[in-house]
Amino acid sequence: MVSMKMIAERCKVSVATVSKALSDRGDIGEDTKNRIRQTAKELGYVPNVAARALKTKHSYNIGVLFEEQAGSGLTHEYFSGVLNGLKLQIEQQHYDLTFINTSFENSDMTYLDHARYRNFDGIAVICCDDYESPQVQELLRSDIPTVTVDYIHQNCTAVLSNNIKGMEDLMKYIYSQGHRRIAYICGQTGSYVTKDRLAAFYRTAEELKLDIPGEYVIEARYMETKESAEATKSLLDLKNPPTCIIYPDDMALIGGRNVITERGMTIPGDISIAGYDGIRMSQLLHPKLTTIRQDTERIGREAGRRLIQSIETPKTALVERVVIEGELLTGQSVGKITPETNNQF
């Protein structure tokens, strides 16, 4: 490996001078600088980030916490989209992305230990089984700049998809199509996302003067097609079933969709359905799903941008709440219905 020392020897200068020449900082003559830079290029010099980090405490490396709970990690289009956005952004700003080790069995390091071990300049928490766990909390409380996605902690800048507005937009659109009996199969309560959406669901219902019977709101975990299928059955079996069902996400929707078609009902003829997330597949299905597309790349990019900002200019960096708007994709899975239909039962 070619080091500064070699360049120094070749150019008959000191290592210090080489460092100055390459970093373009400090006092150095114009011609010497060029000579050194030229030699560095010729020799194919690449700086050693480990040595640099050792000295400067600046690793140009960002740790990303990405816990995988039963397919809800890398293989989840939402999270992988966010990760991708994050990656693109920080690469643009000359940082690298390293996963924080989530394998505990043979590691006695906590997340924070791991972050210190790797000298991460900052941390992005993208997805997490349990944000309230001691390990995660320890990380969030630490003095390492941290950004969270879809979770709020007093210490950290958070990037949040606008679940409130998203749900509201979705509800109002469904309402505008004539629906008055709207059910919501919501994701696991306890998650911030569900809380927001659920609150927005009820609030908007109130605003629209809709009556939401207790049986119309059922919990089913995100991405769990079986649970959403069960929930759908129970909704369809109601004496007064909804005319439209909102699902936790597009994937879970498929579970319900299958139940509906198995019963010989058509979408949106006999019943309307709406999803959330706007995964790629949702616009390929027939009928196209009515859903809220989340701008995952944007979410990731914003997270990256803010994180690096708080790394590089800690004074100007605030703890922010950045909200990214979703986009209503009207699709065709929510149909127009007449008032009579609403009263037919």
DSSP state, 189?
Answer: B
Q: What's the CA gap between 236 and 257, in Å, rounded?
A: 12
DSSP state of 119: T
Q: How far is the CB of 144 from its own copies (least distance, A)?
A: 12
Nearer to DNA, 12 or 209 (CB): 12
Residue 23 interacting partner from DNA, its own copies, none (CB closer than 5 to 8 Å by kind): DNA
Can you tell me the distance from the alpha carbon of 40 to that of 51, in angstroms, rounded to the nearest whole number?
A: 17
Closest to 247 (Cα-Cα) out of 265, 272, 284: 272
Q: Which of DNA, its own copies, none interacts with 319 (beta carbon under 5 to 8 A by kind)? A: none
Shortest Å distance, C-beta 122 to DNA: 18
280 binds DNA (CB under 7 A): no
Nearer Cβ to DNA (1/318): 1
Burial class (CB in 10 A: 0-12, 13-18, 19+), 191: middle
Q: Report what 275 binds from DNA, its own copies, none; CB cut-off 5-8 Å by kind.
A: none
Looking at the Cβ atoms of 36 and 159, the one nearer to DNA is 36
Give the one entry of DNA, its own copies, none that residue 26 binds, where binding means its C-beta sits below a cut-off of 5 to 8 angstroms depending on kind. DNA
| 298 φ/ψ angles, rounded to the nearest 5 degrees | -60, -45
- Sign of the CA dihedral running 195, 196, 202, 206: positive
Backbone region of residue 209 per phi and psi (left: phi > 0; alpha: psi in -120 to 50; beta: other values) = left
Question: Measured from the CB of residue 58, what is the shortest distance to DNA in angstroms?
Answer: 8
How far apart are alpha carbons 106 and 84 in whole angstroms? 28
Residue 151 CB-density burial (10 A; 0-12 exposed, 13-18 middle, 19+ buried): buried
CB 285 to DNA: min, Å: 53
Q: Omega before 248 cis (within 30°)? A: no
Near DNA by CB under 7 A: residue from 34, 38, 42, 56? 56
Q: Does 48 bind DNA (CB under 7 A)?
A: yes
Strand ranges (E), 234-319:
244-246, 272-274, 291-293
- In the set 38, 42, 43, 47, which binds DNA (CB under 7 A)? 47
Q: Which residues of 214-238 are buried (b: 16+ CB within 10 A; e: fewer)?
A: eebbbbbbbbbbebbbbbbeebbee
- Which is nearer to DNA, 14 or 342 (by Cβ)? 14
Shortest separation between residue 56's beta carbon and DNA, angstroms: 5
Nearer to its own copies, 114 or 306 (CB): 114
Look at residue 5 and give the partner it binds from DNA, its own copies, none, a contact being a CB closer than 5 to 8 Å depending on partner kind.
Answer: DNA
Q: Which of residues 1-30 bind DNA (CB under 7 A)?
A: 1, 3-5, 12-20, 22-23, 25-30
Contact 292, 277 (CB under 8 A): yes
Binds 98, which of DNA, its own copies, none (CB < 5 to 8 A, cut-off by type)? its own copies
Pick what 75 binds: DNA, its own copies, none; C-beta below 5 to 8 Å, kind-dependent: its own copies
Interface residue with DNA, options 41, 55, 239, 315 (CB under 7 A): 55
Pair of tokens at residue 163: 């679940």
Kindly list the residues in this chain that would bind its own copies in the complex (CB under 8 A): 1, 44, 46-51, 53-54, 59, 61, 68, 71, 73-75, 77, 80-81, 83-84, 87-88, 91-92, 94, 96-99, 101-103, 105-107, 109, 113, 116-119, 225, 251, 254-255, 258, 261-262, 280-281, 284-286
Tokens 């003067």 appear where? 209
Single residue of 34, 38, 51, 91 touching DNA by CB under 7 A: 51
